[in-house]
Structure 1
Amino acid sequence: MDSAVSDPHNGSAEAGGSTNGTTRPPSTPEGIALAYGSLLLMALLPIFFGALRSVRCARGKNASDMPETITSRDAARFPIIASCTLLGLYLFFKIFSQEYINLLLSMYFFVLGILALSHTISPFMNKFFPANFPNRQYQLLFTQGSGENKEEIINYEFDTKDLVCLGLSSIVGVWYLLRKHWIANNLFGLAFSLNGVELLHLNNVSTGCILLGGLFIYDIFWVFGTNVMVTVAKSFEAPIKLVFPQDLLEKGLEADNFAMLGLGDIVIPGIFIALLLRFDISLKKNTHTYFYTSFAAYIFGLGLTIFIMHIFKHAQPALLYLVPACIGFPVLVALAKGEVTEMFSYEESNPKDPAAVTETREGTEAAASKGLEKKEK
């Protein structure tokens, strides 16, 4: 779900107003600057590292780590599906008890969060294991049918190190489930974002433009046209947003006056930026011009979002500023370098598509044959 950057008070009364009979002290300029700067930094980390990991993911051989490729048809339908989901959540919160809905969602995201965080920290944790660590390999295989009709439903390979990471992630999960602390929320949110950028791949730039363009309209409508987006974002007690307290300097870790940023405002531009990094690599020029350009464009767009939100004291649809920046800046660079055709003709095959696998295998066999011919000569 995509969510706008919230207003500074996260549903509380304006500074100096009353909430539940008490007065909330206004946030200090230092606290506001710290909150906004932290949100910006937290948004950049999963995009940067997720994009780098998406390159290795595209080349990976492990079936459990294969990326999910988004086609142009998926991109065109996504804003409609997202709108229906958002409206459904809004109606649920209006009709049913918010407490029970959030309890159910907390359990769901508790499991997903542990898996996502474990997958995120696994490459970093591998550096801390000693060389003589007894690492055993495991495989979780679930199939349907028998004989020639047997079909793999789940084929997940893991080892003892992954189990250790799963245990550490479970500690964070229990902390989140019991306390709903904002740090635990952010750890899960960062893990979801990084996994999204790493594992969701756009098949070409045109598909990215369709997806971002559709969500550009979606975000504007649901934030400016209705109160649905902001209401759901504030009612939804799940790690679908990054939060940072503006009163951290006054209250420490028990601060409760949050600014927020929806994960959709990180993942959606992030998968487009990751695509441009893979396009850079395909050019084989040893430069990452389009990646750095789009990354700088994201910083500009999110910074502008925060600035406008702070000036007008109203929730902003972040994609209103992020989409033109993330698409416009790289296209301008492509125009200047005369590589517009190369950019829009770049295509990524779906590693789960049998045709793509066959094509890759044939290409490998052809290359091997050429190598043997050269050796014979």
Structure 2
Amino acid sequence: MVCLVCCSLVGIWYVYEKHWVVNNLFGIAFAISGVEMLHLNNVVTGCILLCGLFVYDIFWVFGTNVMVTVAKSFEAPIKLVFPQDLLEHGLKANNFAMLGLGDIVIPGIFIALLLRFDNSRKKNSKFYFYATFVAYFVGLLTTIFVMHVFKHAQPALLYLVPACLGTPLFLALIRGDISTMFQYEDHPSDDDKKKTNNKSPKAKKVKGT
């Protein structure tokens, strides 16, 4: 009940104020949900997806101004905003740098795949997950830095994709895990299989009646 009341108050705050703090709260929640719901089954698929969106992002940011215009004009929590005048205006800041949720979710599902890959190796180590997670933030900081220096919108995937792909692949090559990484196939967990098996008899029983 308390959670429902709090969520309702936050929702009302967003509807009436469109405040950047609430926007970011919703954006983070949507991004986490997206990473949880979307799954890659192997590294090859992840590489193809990231490389394709790498080209797509560069074209729509540098080639046209459509993406930037839509991001600025569309008032919905589809992006995280970072106030550039926070020190001067505090919570009333109104000059923002933006990060689309796709720039979080797409690399996020690839990093989640690497976490499952680490767990599958049963070496009690999350080496590739942590390395790529750190690389993601380095790429993100690079994006913000370049945006600040050139005062122009930047395609975040231009920096995030090389960081999130190059780091694990380079480390896997050095450690001799590259073939294992590319052969890895993510399969449903035992718990998921049990849930599926438990649902099947019920479906048959209903059909029979």
TM-score class, shorter? 0.7 to 0.9
Tell me the distance in 1 between the aligned counterparts of 2:33 and 2:130: 20
Residue 170 of structure 2, aligned match among 332, 341, 361: 332
Tell me the distance in 2 between the aligned counterparts of 1:274 and 1:206: 14
Give the aligned partner of residue 290 of structure 1: 128
Look up the equivalent residue of 2:177 and give its one-letter code: E
Give the aligned partner of residue 27 of structure 1: none
Give the aligned partner of residue 89 of structure 1: none
Give the aligned partner of residue 183 of structure 1: 21
Give the aligned partner of residue 262 of structure 1: 100
Give the aligned partner of residue 12 of structure 2: 174
Between Structure 1 and Structure 2, the one with more helix by share is 2
Tell me the distance in 1 between the aligned counterparts of 2:158 and 2:93: 30
Tell me the distance in 1 between the aligned counterparts of 2:167 and 2:94: 37
Look up the equivalent residue of 2:63 and give its one-letter code: G
CA contact (8 A) 2:116 2:186 kept: no
Q: Alpha carbons of 1:166 and 1:208: their partners in 2 closer, same or farther (altered >3 Å)? A: farther
Aligned residue for 2:39, secondary structure, equals: strand
Tell me the distance in 2 between the aligned counterparts of 1:285 and 1:171: 45
Residue 349 (str. 1) matches residue 187 (str. 2): yes
Aligned residue for 1:187, secondary structure, equals: helix
Q: TM-score, normalised by structure 2?
A: 0.87
Larger radius of gyration: 1
Query: What is the CA distance between 1:164 and its match in structure 2?
Result: 4.2
Give the aligned partner of residue 277 of structure 1: 115
CA contact (8 A) 1:203 1:350 kept: no
Deviations 1:105-153 (A, max 9, x none): xxxxxxxxxxxxxxxxxxxxxxxxxxxxxxxxxxxxxxxxxxxxxxxxx
Aligned residue for 1:202, secondary structure, equals: coil
Aligned residue for 1:243, secondary structure, equals: strand
Query: What is the CA distance between 1:349 and its match in structure 2?
Result: 2.8
Residue 237 of structure 1, aligned match among 75, 87, 92: 75
Look up the equivalent residue of 1:263 and give its one-letter code: L
CA contact (8 A) 1:204 1:347 kept: yes
Query: What is the CA distance between 1:169 and its match in structure 2?
Result: 1.5
Tell me the distance in 2 between the aligned counterparts of 1:319 and 1:284: 31
Gaps of 5+ in 1: 1-162, 362-377
Tell me the distance in 1 between the aligned counterparts of 2:45 and 2:4: 35
Q: How does 1:2-17 map to 2 (within 5 A)?
A: none
Query: What is the CA distance between 1:346 and its match in structure 2?
Result: 1.2
Look up the equivalent residue of 2:161 and give its one-letter code: V
Query: What is the CA distance between 1:333 and its match in structure 2?
Result: 0.9
CA contact (8 A) 2:131 2:168 kept: yes
Residue 315 (str. 1) matches residue 153 (str. 2): yes
Give the aligned partner of residue 225 of structure 1: 63
Query: What is the CA distance between 1:244 and its match in structure 2?
Result: 2.3
Deviations 1:326-361 (A, max 9, x none): 01110111111111111111112357xxxx949x96
Query: What is the CA distance between 1:211 and its match in structure 2?
Result: 1.0
Number of residue pairs matched by the alignment: 194
Aligned residue for 1:213, secondary structure, equals: helix
CA contact (8 A) 1:245 1:255 kept: yes
| Root-mean-square deviation over aligned CA pairs | 1.8
Give the aligned partner of residue 112 of structure 1: none
Tell me the distance in 1 between the aligned counterparts of 2:4 and 2:117: 33
State percent identity of aligned pairs: 71
Look up the equivalent residue of 1:205 and give its one-letter code: V
Which consecutive segments of 4 or more residues in structure 1 shift more than 3 A? none
Query: What is the CA distance between 1:263 and its match in structure 2?
Result: 1.0
Deviations 1:220-247 (A, max 9, x none): 0000000001000000100011112222
